[in-house]
């Protein structure tokens, strides 16, 4: 027998609770329909959001790819430019052009350290500094005149790490360094004396193994032999000195001719700078065209993705609307039938003094309880399904945001309230006399 405590209190909640337990089919199908509506809503929102995030990621990857491609393109471009030579030449300010023309090489030297000063100055308008010591000499051993060039490889400009490998070497140097004890040959030098890689040549008493032979370039390079800088300095008797610095002007500087000159002479006041602007202009043009192409590809892809998303959003909207409508109709039918079934009970409740709002509360309370229960289950199911179908691994909650969850939690109770309101009002307004008068 029931005890005399508050748990035994009979109130509206008792009525609602007992009724829900009593009509399990209606209760379960009602909750289920709301769960489905909520889950579909939440899952669709998550899928759409996940899709958006995936697109963003894709676009970011594409951009990164393009950036890599740009660097690649620049490298390719550099290889082309190698055949055209460098476009900036830095010489001693004392070098007279007439001497340069007459001798074919710079007669006034600068310090090898100058190239490092330039490299470490933070200058951004130059790339690929190549210190060169060059003279036209008579090659006694072969009875011919050649240009003998000492190079040590390019010195990176440290302000431009983008072009450098992890070892601070150029990704694709214009001019490869010459290994110790070896020599690189221009095409005509090699052809004329029938030299191939692996042969040993002697120059001024020093032996060098032929490292490689460059293809014909149609310029002075064909008559040149390259050896390591320090060996050239020893041969010429000018340790620590170089003829000048070859450099490649950065495309960013092409807008303003003379900018490089201003910057270089500020760092190395004892130098003069020669710029060859046609090369600069050609380079800028190549690069602009490439970047415009990339921009177009990116835009086309963006437009495609956005069209796809609009399509998906429209589909989701229709699906959600249909499911919500179905759930609403079902709740309406359930509560409406329930009201009809409970006609006599409503009559007697009203007869024994239940107010309209109490009857309303019983039926509306019932549908809202179904809604609240469904909102929790539906949200969890929707989040799980959404993440699953969006292809997120366990623990990945990236596309789940507060708005979606709040919307999902509110949807079912609001839906149940709205759908249950009309039949509940009908129940509350039934005239008890009409019901009790039926025989």
Q: Distance between CA atoms of 52 and 264, rounded to whole angstroms?
A: 49
In the complex with another protein, the residue whose CB is nearer, 219 or 429, is 429
One symbol per residue from 16 to 55: x for binding another protein (CB under 8 A), - otherwise; what is it?
A: --xx-xxx--------------------------------
Q: Least distance in Å: CB of 351 to another protein? A: 5
Q: Distance between CA atoms of 401 and 285, rounded to whole angstroms?
A: 46
Helix count and strand count (H, E) for the chain? 12, 11
Q: Least distance in Å: CB of 7 to another protein? A: 11
**Cross-strand bridge partners of residue 249:** 126
In the complex with another protein, the residue whose CB is nearer, 181 or 432, is 432
Nearest to 46 by CA among 391, 350, 338: 391
One symbol per residue from 198 to 237: x for binding another protein (CB under 8 A), - otherwise; what is it?
A: ----------------------------------------
- Note whether 106 and 243 are within 8 A (CB): yes
In the complex with another protein, the residue whose CB is nearer, 224 or 367, is 367
- Among the listed ranges 286-294, 369-377, 406-414, 431-439, the one in contact with another protein (CB under 8 A) is 431-439
- Among the listed ranges 5-13, 62-70, 302-310, 332-340, the one in contact with another protein (CB under 8 A) is 5-13
Asked if 7 interacts with another protein (CB under 8 A), we say no
Give the other-Cβ count within 10 Å of 205's Cβ.
8
Q: Least distance in Å: CB of 354 to another protein? A: 4
Q: Distance between CA atoms of 342 and 354, rounded to whole angstroms?
A: 14
Site for another protein in 322-381 (CB under 8 A): 344-345, 347-355, 358
In the complex with another protein, the residue whose CB is nearer, 18 or 401, is 18
Q: Which residue shows structure tokens 């030299």?
A: 195
Separation of first and last alpha carbons in the chain: 36
Q: Which residue shows structure tokens 């000063």?
A: 117
- Note whether 133 and 241 are within 8 A (CB): yes
CA 209, 214, 215, 221 dihedral sign is negative
In the complex with another protein, the residue whose CB is nearer, 8 or 166, is 8
- Among the listed ranges 8-16, 103-111, 164-172, 322-330, the one in contact with another protein (CB under 8 A) is 8-16
Supply the angle between the helices 356-389 and 402-428 in degrees, to the nearest 10: 150
Q: Distance between CA atoms of 331 and 32, rounded to whole angstroms?
A: 10
Q: Least distance in Å: CB of 15 to another protein? A: 7
Q: Least distance in Å: CB of 327 to another protein? A: 25
Nearest to 27 by CA among 326, 337, 367: 367
In the complex with another protein, the residue whose CB is nearer, 119 or 339, is 339
DSSP state of 5: S
Q: Which residue shows structure tokens 């003094």?
A: 353
Q: Least distance in Å: CB of 12 to another protein? A: 6
Q: Least distance in Å: CB of 384 to another protein? A: 34
Residues that bind another protein (CB under 8 A): 1-2, 4, 8-12, 14-15, 18-19, 21-23, 344-345, 347-355, 358, 432-433, 436-437, 439
């Amino acid at each position: 027998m029931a005890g005399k405590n508050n748990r035994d209190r009979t109130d509206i909640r008792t009525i609602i609770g007992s009724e829900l337990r009593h009509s399990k089919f209606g209760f379960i199908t009602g909750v289920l329909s709301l769960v489905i509506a909520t889950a579909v809503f939440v899952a669709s929102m998550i899928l759409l959001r996940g899709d958006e995030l995936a697109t963003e990621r894709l676009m970011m990857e594409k951009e990164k790819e393009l950036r890599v491609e740009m660097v690649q393109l620049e490298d390719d471009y550099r290889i082309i430019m190698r055949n055209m030579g460098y476009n900036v030449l830095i010489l001693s300010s004392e070098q007279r052009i007439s001497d340069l023309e007459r001798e074919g090489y710079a007669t006034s030297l600068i310090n090898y350290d100058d190239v490092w000063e330039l490299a470490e100055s933070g200058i951004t308008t130059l790339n690929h500094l190549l210190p060169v010591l060059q003279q036209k000499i008579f090659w006694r051993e072969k009875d011919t005149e050649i240009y003998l060039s000492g190079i040590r490889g390019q010195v990176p400009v440290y302000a431009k790490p983008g072009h450098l490998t992890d070892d601070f070497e150029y990704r694709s140097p214009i001019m490869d360094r010459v290994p110790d004890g070896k020599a690189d040959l221009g095409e005509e030098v090699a052809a004329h004396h029938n030299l191939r890689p692996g042969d040993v040549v002697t120059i001024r008493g020093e032996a060098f193994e032929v490292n490689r032979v460059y293809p014909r370039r149609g310029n002075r390079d064909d008559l040149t032999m390259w050896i390591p800088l320090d060996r050239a300095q020893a041969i010429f008797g000018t340790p620590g000195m170089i003829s000048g610095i070859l450099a490649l002007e950065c495309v960013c500087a092409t807008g303003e001719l003379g900018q490089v000159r201003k910057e270089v002479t500020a760092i190395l006041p004892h130098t003069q700078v020669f710029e060859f602007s046609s090369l600069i202009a050609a380079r800028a043009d190549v690069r602009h065209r490439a970047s415009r192409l990339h921009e177009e590809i990116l835009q086309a892809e963006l437009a495609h993705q956005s069209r796809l998303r609009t399509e998906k959003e429209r589909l989701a909207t229709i699906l959600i609307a249909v499911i919500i409508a179905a759930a609403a109709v079902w709740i309406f039918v359930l509560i409406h039938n329930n009201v009809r079934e409970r006609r006599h009970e409503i009559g007697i409740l009203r007869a024994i003094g239940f107010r309209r709002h109490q009857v309303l509360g019983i039926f509306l309370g019932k549908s809202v309880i179904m809604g609240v229960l469904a909102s929790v289950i539906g949200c969890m199911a929707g989040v799980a399904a959404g993440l699953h179908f969006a292809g997120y691994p366990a623990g990945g909650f990236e596309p789940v945001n507060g708005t979606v969850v709040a919307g999902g939690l509110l949807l079912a109770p609001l839906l149940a309230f709205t759908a249950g309101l009309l039949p509940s009002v009908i129940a509350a307004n039934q005239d008890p006399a009409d019901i009790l008068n039926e025989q």
